[in-house]
Amino acid sequence: MIAIDWGTTQLRAYRLNDAGAIASRRSQPKGIMAIPGGDFAAALDEITRDWHGAADREIVMSGMIGSRQGWVEVPYVSCPAGLRDLADAVRAAPTDGARQVLICPGLVSRGTDGVPDVMRGEEVQIFGALSISRKTPATVLLPGTHSKHAAVSNGSISGFVTHMTGEVFALLRDHSILGRLMAPRRVDFAAFDAGLDRARHRNGLLHHIFGVRTRMLMNELDAASLPDYLSGILIGHEIASAEISPPVIVVGEPELGALYQRALDRIGIDPELIESDAATTRGLYAVAELRRKAHP
């Protein structure tokens, strides 16, 4: 089968063997916002071109491709939700050929104040990660532009919370008074740790980030260490304000995953790391398997 993770900015395609292992992978900066005329079929043909037998293969997708701006809108499924709820809510994209393209739904969860939270794509990664892990985790954490913290139990996602950590980091680095002082990042774990510590002091996030400016002004931090200091403050706030029950799985790219591991370690949590690609493909493979059993 072919597994596709189609987000706002990236299109990732994986050719899987019959056991669900990755045989081949490709990635293009062709997120759903970058497809001319919304011709998703053409973009799909292009990224799977010359994959042996691709035309006959089953295709299962997750991510923003199922949103209102995507190929077909697949309504959000409410939490708590298991893999079967996801598989049952899958919709077929309106292709003109014989090829079947299935798109997974996203999830919606409501916080204690009744405000909704949403995800599209991460739910598939969460189920993939659960099938890979040797542990029985209580929390799956997916760091990124919009970090997701999902509470899981008995193979279901009971609820989740989004933190805009990665987007706020990029905004502050690229557009704020703080970014103007920064040199390109030189890895500085001591600065990252200092940021984590600052996040636990008083006066809150809107105050703490101003320290990036003042510590530079007072020559206490080097311009190349400021990105890690800011990153520590933001990730520290994400972790400190969340209610994280161990065991924890972190699903992400190795470099960012390592920063979260460091932040969690400081509060006594030793997370298992699982790479995004593995989580995505195992999850989409599991959805396809359930569909095959239901509609043989």
**Site for a copy of itself, rule CB under 8 A:** 108, 111-113, 115-118, 146-147, 161-165, 167-168, 171-172, 174-177, 197-198, 201-207, 209-211, 214-215, 217-218, 220, 234, 237-238, 240-243
Q: Which is nearer to a copy of itself, 207 or 292 (CB)?
A: 207
**Closest by alpha carbon to 238, among 175, 153, 147?**
147
Q: How far is the CB of 97 from a copy of itself (least distance, A)?
A: 32
Q: CA 102 to CA 92: how far, in whole Å?
A: 4
Q: CA 213 to CA 209: how far, in whole Å?
A: 8
Determine how β-strand 59-62 pairs with β-strand 101-103: parallel
What is the C-alpha radius of gyration for the chain, rounded to an integer number of angstroms?
20
Q: How far is the CB of 207 from a copy of itself (least distance, A)?
A: 5
Q: How far is the CB of 252 from a copy of itself (least distance, A)?
A: 16
Question: 160: which DSSP letter?
Answer: E
Structure-token match 């293009």, residue found = 28
Q: Which residues contact 44 (CB under 8 A, 6 or more apart)?
A: 4, 59, 101
Q: How far is the CB of 40 from a copy of itself (least distance, A)?
A: 21
Q: Which is nearer to a copy of itself, 198 or 282 (CB)?
A: 198
Q: CA 287 to CA 203: how far, in whole Å?
A: 45
Q: How far is the CB of 215 from a copy of itself (least distance, A)?
A: 6
Q: Which is nearer to a copy of itself, 164 or 183 (CB)?
A: 164
- Residue 134: count other Cβ atoms within 10 Å of its Cβ: 5
**Residues found in the chain:** 296
Q: How far is the CB of 272 from a copy of itself (least distance, A)?
A: 23
Q: How far is the CB of 49 from a copy of itself (least distance, A)?
A: 31
Q: Which is nearer to a copy of itself, 23 or 183 (CB)?
A: 183
Q: Which is nearer to a copy of itself, 48 or 165 (CB)?
A: 165
Question: Omega into 247 within 30° of 0, i.e. cis?
Answer: yes
Crossing angle (nearest 10°) for helices 210-217 and 226-241: 150
Q: Which is nearer to a copy of itself, 260 or 285 (CB)?
A: 260
Q: Which is nearer to a copy of itself, 19 or 115 (CB)?
A: 115
Question: 54: which DSSP letter?
Answer: G
